[in-house]
Amino acid sequence: MKRSFITFLLILIVVPFTFAQSWKLKRYEGTFGLGTTHFLSDIGGYPRGSNAAGLRDIRFRQTRFDFNVNLKYKIARSLNARLGLAYGLLNGNDAAGSNASRGYVTNVTALEPLFIMEYYFIKNKLENSYLFAGGDKRSFSDFLKTLDVYAFTGVGGIFYTVSGNDLLEEQMDLEGTKDRGSATIIPVGIGVSIPFSPDFNFGIELGGRFALSDYVDGYAPASSSANDFYYFFNFTLTYKFNTGTNGLPSFR
């Protein structure tokens, strides 16, 4: 009887602790993202005062694409550090917006290295079940409980090349504007991730990039009062690496 009582106490103490630390079993994640880009610059679109968050400037004809790769490390259960590299195309066109008569068109090729911190303000309730029970089939209500929602911010850079139409390139020549350059960017956004199996997550992510430059589009009029800005909207696939006994990711 005494031995059974001690065993019961050990279970009460050890099992909750083990489950609470289960996230350490998979501290490293690799993520691939693919999606669309939406450019809010001085070319195309509407004045910022009448264009909350640039939503009026999001058009199919100016939508371009990006892809990115990321490596994440779990500092704590609800906090990730992330290194990323993204490649994308951006487009601005005066044909739609308040400057249609000006006629500028810009195409930008962008490369982004990023350092980001992710904070999970909604953490799924079935993470332990997926890690320990192998992600077996569950009801739809259980599926909703697997939802992770996070916000992120950080710092990065953009290395860009500008290719404009004849009208824009003439203006760039007049101003002496370079057709390539770099700038610091501040990424800010939100994402959702859902476990598909013990090793894979699917997700979506919306992230804005505040550039500390007004020349990413190759043009900065005297009337401009804000730097360039763009959105990435991505679908993501995440692979979770096992943590080895040495604390490094295990590929076995």
Identify which has the larger pLDDT, 201 or 197. 201
Mean pLDDT of 183-206: 94
What's the chain's average pLDDT? 84
| Cβ contacts of 243 within 8 Å, gap of 6 or more | 24, 25, 26, 27, 28, 249, 250
Looking at residue 11, what is its pLDDT?
Answer: 45
C-alpha closest to that of 39 among 88, 111, 104: 88
- Distance (Å, whole) CA 123 – CA 240: 16
The reported pTM is 0.82
pLDDT digits (tens, 9 = 90+) for 174-187: 999 999 999 999 99
Cα–Cα distances (Å) from 91 to 37, 75, 97, 226, 242, in that order, read: 8, 37, 14, 18, 40
Least confident of 71-75, 146-150, 221-225: 221-225
Classify residue 38 by burial, with Cβ atoms within 10 Å: 0-12, 13-18, 19+. buried
Give the dihedral sign, CA 86/66/176/224: negative
> What percentage of the chain has pLDDT greater than the value 70?
77
Number of domains in the chain: 1
Domain that holds residue 28: 2-250
- CA–CA distance, 35 with 179 (Å, rounded to integer): 25
Q: Kindly tell me if the per-residue pLDDT of 152 is higher than 50.
A: yes
Task: Tell me what pLDDT residue 242 has.
Answer: 87
pLDDT at 2: 55
Q: What's the rounded mean pLDDT across residues 215-233? A: 92
3-state secondary structure of 181: strand
**pLDDT: is 153 or 13 the higher one?**
153
* DSSP sequence for 62-123: G-EEEEEEEEEEEEETTEEEEEEEEEEEEEEETTSBTTTTT--EEEEEEEEEEEEEEEEEE-
Contact status, residue 116 vs residue 99, Cβ threshold 8 Å: no
pLDDT at 145 over 50: yes
Per-residue pLDDT of 5-53, as tens digits, reads 454 444 444 444 444 467 788 899 999 999 999 999 989 866 555 555 5
CA distance 6 to 12: 10
Check which CATH number belongs to the domain holding 137 and give it: 2.40.160.20
Query: Looking at residue 203, what is its pLDDT?
Result: 97
Reported as a single tens digit per residue, the pLDDT across 98-130 is: 788 899 999 999 999 999 999 999 988 666 555
What average pLDDT does the segment 151-178 reach? 96
